[in-house]
Amino acid sequence: MFINWHGQSCFKLVGDKTTVITDPFDNSIGLRAPRLAGDIVTISHDHGDHNNVEGVKGLNQTEPFIIKGPGEYEYKNVFVYGIASFHDNERGAKRGTNIIYRIEIDGITITHLGDLGHLLENEQLEKIEGTDILLIPVGGDYTIDGKQATKIISELEPRIVIPMHYRLPGLKVKIDGLDTFCKEIGVCPKEELPKFKITKKDLPQEDLQVVLLQP
């Protein structure tokens, strides 16, 4: 499987037979909206920097399967579990709800936390237990920050962590850069990869691996 990051919370997960797009964004945030195509699109919440479904084309002359809420889904041998959470630390009073997605593809479990705005409750942690790769926001303000992200990582114990939703050149959203998170986690590599290739047999068995991707 290949994992590409396009900025904010938008990833392209290219599996053996199925491609998943997460949280596609529009041009309003200052970043150029990517041209994407996929079989499945997951939307964590209905904000313009996460819900640009119109910007994603389908593959093989079919429209993409859109997932926008909690529940269990299966499409083209990919299992997706949507888990309710909040976009803030006030149970949604400020920014509404957020959906966490557990995605099982090519024998690998990937959890995308969306714009999570709070520490996870025990019930939520239980539903994403066994996560191999964690896609986690670290920019603060609109989401959890680097310190909160590090706490969630220690609780969940994924094998690989890929940070997202942090400050990038041109981004109009005022959030922290990557440095804050890297100081907290202490194991960030110096190199950013254009894309990340991983198979189930290549997952690290002991030490946590942090992967930084170029948008």
Where residue 2 falls among pLDDT bands split at 50, 70, 90?
very high
Q: Which of 31-35, 57-61, 131-135, 177-181 has the highest mean pLDDT?
A: 131-135
pTM of the complete model: 0.94
Q: Which residue has the higher pLDDT, 4 or 97?
A: 4
- Residue 77's alpha-carbon distances to 17, 40, 130, 161, 179, in angstroms, are 8, 11, 19, 24, 37
Where residue 89 falls among pLDDT bands split at 50, 70, 90?
confident
When pLDDT is averaged across residues 120-147 and rounded to a whole number, the result is 95
- For the stretch 63-76, pLDDT in tens is 999 999 999 999 99
Where residue 168 falls among pLDDT bands split at 50, 70, 90?
very high
Is residue 194 over pLDDT 80? Answer: yes
Judged by average pLDDT, the poorest of 29-38, 86-95, 142-151, 196-205 is: 86-95
For residues 160 and 211, what is the distance between their CA atoms, to the nearest angstrom? 7
* Amino acid in position 146: G
Q: What is the DSSP string of 171-184?
A: --S----HHHHHHH
Is residue 50 over pLDDT 80? Answer: no
When pLDDT is averaged across residues 160-182 and rounded to a whole number, the result is 93
- Residue 156 Ramachandran class (φ > 0 left, ψ -120 to 50 alpha, else beta): alpha
> What percent of the chain stands above pLDDT 90?
76
Q: What backbone phi and psi angles, to 5 degrees, belong to 118? A: -155, 165
Specify the 3-state DSSP secondary structure of 68. coil
When pLDDT is averaged across residues 36-57 and rounded to a whole number, the result is 86
- For the stretch 148-157, pLDDT in tens is 999 999 999 9
